[in-house]
Chains A and B, each alone.
Chain A
């Protein structure tokens, strides 16, 4: 940066910051600064909270100012974090007393340090050159890296519950295996299932949760009404969901793009409404409870003499069931993955991808596009149904609230963020999105900063939504956007993401 340009840059940054502050003021003036509350007589009254508005302005304007002043992203991130920490410290010192106020110097000091470090370390450093997009050698090594990383990740996942069990014991590890292990793996499987539809065939499905619901209710109803075991119901749930996929898919698959998305969205909503209102079958909002729990191939996970613990001569612990569920969903997810990877190298898989690239060219080569789309749709639905049956057996209770549009949106976000078509990318995205929101449950320590009535959990979905936007702006093509060719003559070279089409269907 030439010295002569520096003052104008400062001016520009100040102008940017002032504008951002102004917009923030306009956005937060009614929504943040004034809150509508019901009083004792149940009448609405206005409660003024001006400090919140000024805090929002200060945070946003300072961040905009720093972003305009600094070029290096590390300097930006560090400086913004530092300044925000100092602002928070100032706020604590000003508005609070006691233990909260005592934290203020830490925030002020730490923030100042962070700001100084960011400015000193990164400001002077030369801008790193952006890696050229689509460079063949880089893409090729990335392809090998992806395969290797996949195997390493698989090893880590297989060892995960046992390592935790050994480290934290049955009590301590339960939460980690269940909330982080099983929960994430369900979404990995759903993501992989939807990836067939969206990532490979390029068909935008916003109602994927419908098949998840079909699978869950299929197991719940078959098990509670006819007493069928989980191992019989699991394939039935998959078949039923695939059948629904064909049934719903047949009329709609000639639609394109956003229209297909909306029809699938409508189907998803219709199924939820029917599940809520068809009380005779589904018990409506109250849902289906006491769904038979999973057994170890017939041996129940109970403390009874014929239970799992007694049979294998170990002390009873509820963790056994959780660990079994973990490996069960891992196997189901891996089946989804292996089937998808194999199908990609078969004519049907190549036809899916060709369909995503150019449907008209496909038709000119004699590909029956309706059947090709239907297989993708049905297969995706089948894996969704299997995951649904697993969900029902894990929860033991289901109701329509588990199958809202939010779920479809989350799964689609995982697929898109993962990089459409990339199996490892989808798994990574599931870990980031689901693991991330689970971690947001662990923010109780923030009560020390913001006071005892601060409830971090209500910010969970707020941050989730914002993260979706931020990740799309940061990486519109997802975490792993390169495409692995399904066959090769001499050497397998990954195709740069910019060349891969996203499909119109």
Chain B
């Protein structure tokens, strides 16, 4: 049974985003299953990153609802009730619900616990790898340092919190194989290491949903494989669902449980990797054919040649 329908962590409903006259995302609805690796794919300019920016609060959607049920299954009636109150957040017996489209970006990260990485890596380049991972624990550490007051006087509770934050960062560095380079500035690391460090940094903020924007871009095959292992590890060992934008189909098909396909800002396919792989609309979009009937013909020709 498809988990994204029975237990979605995020329900994107009728999402639209316009920039002036340009419609970047047009009435897109899909769900992200709890514990799944969901891939968001589509040709260049399909609006994938815009969807990401809406989910993580960097853009305010023109229209649509982004209901995020952090812990448990959200009842449709409860979500509707929350929407009508005009509030951003409700605490229900089944868990917390957040309406992400109403929240500023830093609150989405801090409260709803949606973390993300960026297409063009955004590490704190002049800070060390270790510092990058400690900054990611900012909000927890701010509370532990008594909004700096306990920290200024060096209170023992703060020292313990700091030590455990460093230990957590160290563990993540060990997991991505960068423990040796903990004290090197992030900008001095090789590209593939920077990609993994950015994912580790996002994970240090303990997200319920991790959004990865083209994490395999620019990686060589070995690094791509390492990345796939890391993502599976995150899914299996942490209670973190993953939403991933990726162009590398080998990565997508191998690791994802659920694939959503966008083209020209609209949803064209949504299902299991096998379903999407064989969906004529998807093939048409990737081959640049405008009409589905024509695409089926193309597909028939291709499969005819491939399997004579």
Touching chains A and B, CB distance < 8 Å: yes
Contact B127 A495 (CB under 8 A): yes
Contact A354 B124 (CB under 8 A): yes
Interface residues of B in 65-95 (CB under 8 A from A): none
* 9 contacts across the A-B interface (CB closer than 8 A): A343-B152, A346-B151, A348-B145, A353-B127, A364-B116, A364-B122, A365-B201, A366-B106, A367-B106
- 5 closest pairs, A vs B, by CB? A366-B110, A500-B126, A366-B109, A357-B124, A347-B141
Q: How far is the CB of B36 from chain A (nearest CB, A)?
A: 22
Contact A495 B152 (CB under 8 A): no
Contact A358 B106 (CB under 8 A): no
Contact B130 A489 (CB under 8 A): yes
Chain A residues in 8 Å Cβ range of B152: 339, 342-343, 346
Residues 90-119 of B, flagged 1 when their CB comes within 8 A of A and 0 if not, give 000000000000000111011100011010
Listed in ascending order, the chain B residues whose CB lies under 8 Å from chain A are 56-58, 105-107, 109-111, 115-116, 118, 122-128, 130-131, 134-139, 141-142, 145, 147-148, 151-152, 162, 166, 170, 173, 179, 182-185, 187-188, 201-202, 205
Residue from B58, B110, B184 within 8 A of A360 (CB atoms) = B58
Interface residues of A in 480-505 (CB under 8 A from B): 483, 485-493, 495-496, 499-501
Residue from A136, A361, A488 within 8 A of B122 (CB atoms) = A361
Contact B126 A357 (CB under 8 A): yes
Chain A residues in 8 Å Cβ range of B110: 366, 368
Contact A486 B131 (CB under 8 A): yes
Residue from A365, A485, A492, A493 within 8 A of B138 (CB atoms) = A365
Contact B183 A490 (CB under 8 A): yes
Contact A495 B185 (CB under 8 A): yes
Residue from A348, A483, A488, A496 within 8 A of B130 (CB atoms) = A488
Known contacts A346-B151, A351-B135, A366-B205; A488 and B125 CB within 8 A of each other? no
Given the complex of chains A and B, what is the CA–CA distance between A489 and B179 in angstroms? 9
Given the complex of chains A and B, what is the CA–CA distance between A491 and B179 in angstroms? 12
Contact B131 A485 (CB under 8 A): yes
Contact B148 A348 (CB under 8 A): yes
Chain B residues in 8 Å Cβ range of A368: 106, 110
Known contacts A342-B151, A347-B142, A366-B205; A487 and B166 CB within 8 A of each other? yes
Residue from A345, A348, A363, A483 within 8 A of B105 (CB atoms) = A363
Chain A residues in 8 Å Cβ range of B170: 489
Contact A346 B145 (CB under 8 A): yes
Given the complex of chains A and B, what is the CA–CA distance between A496 and B142 in angstroms? 28
Contact B124 A358 (CB under 8 A): yes
Given the complex of chains A and B, what is the CA–CA distance between A322 and B99 in angstroms? 62
Is A123 an interface residue, CB under 8 A from the partner?
no
Known contacts A339-B152, A350-B131, A489-B130; A358 and B122 CB within 8 A of each other? yes
Known contacts A346-B148, A489-B166, A493-B183; A365 and B115 CB within 8 A of each other? yes
Q: How far is the CB of A319 from chain B (nearest CB, A)?
A: 36
Contact A364 B105 (CB under 8 A): yes
Q: Which of A343, A345, A348, A501 has the most CB of B within 10 A?
A: A348
Contact B125 A357 (CB under 8 A): yes
Given the complex of chains A and B, what is the CA–CA distance between A136 and B184 in angstroms? 9
Q: Which residue of B lies closest to A359 (CB)?
A: B122
Chain A residues in 8 Å Cβ range of B147: 348
Q: Which of B110, B137, B138, B188 has the most CB of A within 10 A?
A: B138
Q: Which of B127, B183, B187, B188 has the most CB of A within 10 A?
A: B127
Interface residues of A in 114-137 (CB under 8 A from B): 134, 136
Chain B residues in 8 Å Cβ range of A485: 127-128, 130-131, 183
Contact B148 A364 (CB under 8 A): no
Chain A residues in 8 Å Cβ range of B188: 134, 499
Is A369 an interface residue, CB under 8 A from the partner?
yes
Q: How far is the CB of A250 from chain B (nearest CB, A)?
A: 16
Chain A residues in 8 Å Cβ range of B134: 347, 350, 487
Residue from B57, B139, B185 within 8 A of A496 (CB atoms) = B185
Q: Which residue of A lies closest to B124 (CB)?
A: A357
Chain A residues in 8 Å Cβ range of B136: 365
Given the complex of chains A and B, what is the CA–CA distance between A223 and B123 in angstroms? 50
Given the complex of chains A and B, what is the CA–CA distance between A346 and B150 in angstroms? 10
Q: Which residue of B lies closest to A140 (CB)?
A: B183
Contact A487 B185 (CB under 8 A): no
Chain B residues in 8 Å Cβ range of A361: 118, 122-124
Given the complex of chains A and B, what is the CA–CA distance between A499 and B182 in angstroms? 16
Chain A residues in 8 Å Cβ range of B56: 364
Q: How far is the CB of B145 from chain A (nearest CB, A)?
A: 5
Given the complex of chains A and B, what is the CA–CA distance between A495 and B123 in angstroms? 15
Q: How far is the CB of B56 from chain A (nearest CB, A)?
A: 6
Q: How far is the CB of A292 from chain B (nearest CB, A)?
A: 32
Residue from B126, B138, B162 within 8 A of A501 (CB atoms) = B126
Given the complex of chains A and B, what is the CA–CA distance between A134 and B131 in angstroms? 19
Given the complex of chains A and B, what is the CA–CA distance between A345 and B148 in angstroms? 10
Q: How far is the CB of B203 from chain A (nearest CB, A)?
A: 11
Residue from A339, A347, A490, A496 within 8 A of B182 (CB atoms) = A490
Interface residues of A in 397-421 (CB under 8 A from B): none
Chain B residues in 8 Å Cβ range of A499: 125-126, 185, 187-188
Known contacts A350-B138, A364-B56, A496-B185; A487 and B151 CB within 8 A of each other? no
Residue from A343, A364, A490 within 8 A of B109 (CB atoms) = A364
Given the complex of chains A and B, what is the CA–CA distance between A368 and B137 in angstroms? 13
Given the complex of chains A and B, what is the CA–CA distance between A501 and B136 in angstroms? 18
Given the complex of chains A and B, what is the CA–CA distance between A369 and B126 in angstroms? 19
With A363-B106, A493-B184, A501-B126 known, 6 other A-B pairs at CB within 8 A are A345-B151, A347-B137, A348-B151, A350-B131, A353-B124, A485-B130
Contact A492 B123 (CB under 8 A): no
Given the complex of chains A and B, what is the CA–CA distance between A364 and B106 in angstroms? 6
Q: Which residue of B lies closest to A364 (CB)?
A: B116
Given the complex of chains A and B, what is the CA–CA distance between A364 and B112 in angstroms? 12
Given the complex of chains A and B, what is the CA–CA distance between A367 and B148 in angstroms? 15
Given the complex of chains A and B, what is the CA–CA distance between A495 and B130 in angstroms? 13
Contact B205 A365 (CB under 8 A): yes
Q: Which residue of A lies closest to B143 (CB)?
A: A347
Chain B residues in 8 Å Cβ range of A496: 185
Q: Which residue of A lies closest to B184 (CB)?
A: A493
